Amino acid sequence: MVKIIAEISGNHRGDINRAKELIFECAKNGADMVKLQAYTPDTITLKADTPDFKVNWRGRSVNLYDLYTEAHTPLRWMPELFDFARKNKINLFASVFDKSSVDILRDLDCPAYKIASFEITDTTLISYAARTLKPMFISTGMATLADIERAVNAVKSTQPNWTKFSNTQEIVLMHCISAYPAQPEHSYLLNIKELSSRFRCAIGLSDHTMNNTAAIAATALGAQYIEKHVTLDPNGHGPDDHFSITPEQLAALRKDLDDTANSLHYSFEDKPEEAGSRVFRRSLYFVKPVSAGETITAEHFRSVRPGYGLPPHLDWLVEGTKAKKDAQPNTPVTWEHIK
């Protein structure tokens, strides 16, 4: 089954109890993993007020340092949140943004590391995180194929014995469109097939759209992970609330993805679940009595519903054959009648 990663980001709004509630609700409503972001304002940007450091966020002009001060998850929370997640039987991991965050998470036995889209070009960071030998999730928003290849190679370069067919560390490329929110028509989901073909690794979707369409389609295209931002209040004023889904929507996503995954089977054989519909299929039935040894003519049988006789495409084989046994009208033509 496809795994769901619930990103809570800064939707805790600076309250550790709200962070715990988010983790609990994500675990209860179908997430397989919950993700945090491990940075401080000082590790992700500079405290500057020049135009380069200004951004328009939700209709207001704010400098990056202030934005990340508002949005960050205090690193001192990490031990308590990891312990809480383990008690609630949900895997917790985080995006890393510098070496110090990798070190903190390593000490907490973090089960995986995420490289955000905006950090995919930081191959030094990627290599450092990869040395933990834990699974590496790498988002591809804004990335070219060359960017993605360098990131993948940065992981592989930490292991000299890596071969194309013998991986010692899982890499998951998370196809992503860095728009918040993103529109379904801008999802570029066929990138999933291309990434899978080129890099021969697990592929996921980091989805910022506001419904389940892209996630469902991505699952059908082979995505093994779906990431969604989750909030307790989509109308709140947290940094990511406006493009996040609620726990109830997370539960609906879980059902939709499970239904999608369960539908992805291949078979052209008889299917037990269709047995009740055979009554509506056409087959050959006798419409006139025929005696053993009598030549069966076109007037003796017809193609009708139900479907319990020989299929209509064998009418040429029935016509002109001497009947092997008696047959009455309204009974199916079977192999016993002609062989």
Do 252 and 280 share a structural domain? no
Whether residue 259 is found in the same domain as residue 284: no
| Residue where a domain terminates, one of 237, 263, 289 | 263
| Shared-domain flag, residues 255 and 114 | yes
Which parts of 190-229 fold into alpha helices (H)?
191-199, 213-220
CATH number at 319 reads 3.90.1210.10
Q: Which two tokens stand for residue 270?
A: 């008889």
Residues 169 and 279 in one domain: no
Calculate ∠ Cα 6-9-13, nearest 5°.
125
Query: Who contacts 308 (Cβ-Cβ below 8 Å, separation ≥6)?
Result: 278, 279, 283, 332
> Is residue 38 located within the same domain as residue 79?
yes
Among candidate residues 121, 178, 112, the one with its CA nearest the CA of residue 150: 121
Please report the DSSP string for 125-184 in residue order: HHHHHHTT-S-EEEE-TT--HHHHHHHHHHHHTT-TT-BTTB-SS-EEEEEE---SSPPG
Instruction: Indicate the pairing of strand 171-176 with strand 91-96.
Output: unpaired
Q: Tell me, yes or no, whether 32 and 98 share the same domain.
A: yes
Domain boundary residue among 239, 263, 287?
Answer: 263
Helices 191-199 + 145-156 axis angle, to 10:
40
223 burial via Cβ count (<10 Å: 0-12, 13-18, 19+): buried
Give me 127's structure tokens.
């290599």
Residue 269 covered by a domain: no
Q: 283 and 162 in one domain?
A: no
Structure tokens given for 254:
């879980």
Domain boundary among 212, 234, 263: 263
Distance of CA 304 to the CA centre of its chain: 45
- Model pTM? 0.90
Total domains in the chain come to 2
pLDDT in tens, the chain (339 residues): 899 999 999 999 999 999 999 999 999 999 999 999 999 999 999 999 999 999 987 778 899 999 999 999 999 999 999 999 999 999 999 999 999 999 999 999 999 999 999 999 999 999 999 999 999 999 999 999 999 999 999 999 998 776 655 556 799 999 999 999 999 999 999 999 999 999 999 999 999 999 999 999 999 999 999 999 999 999 988 889 999 999 999 999 999 999 999 999 999 998 999 999 989 999 999 999 999 999 999 999 999 999 999 999 999 999 999 999 999 999 999 999 998
- Looking at the fold, whether 189 and 325 belong to one and the same domain comes out as no
Are residues 327 and 249 located together in one domain of the fold? no
Which residues span the domain enclosing 322?
274-338
Q: Are residues 191 and 247 in the same domain?
A: yes
Residue 153 and residue 87 share a domain: yes
CATH number of the domain within which 14 lies: 3.20.20.70
Residue 268 lies in a domain: no
Query: Nearest CA to 119 among 133, 93, 103, 99?
Result: 99
Residue 182, in any domain of the structure = yes
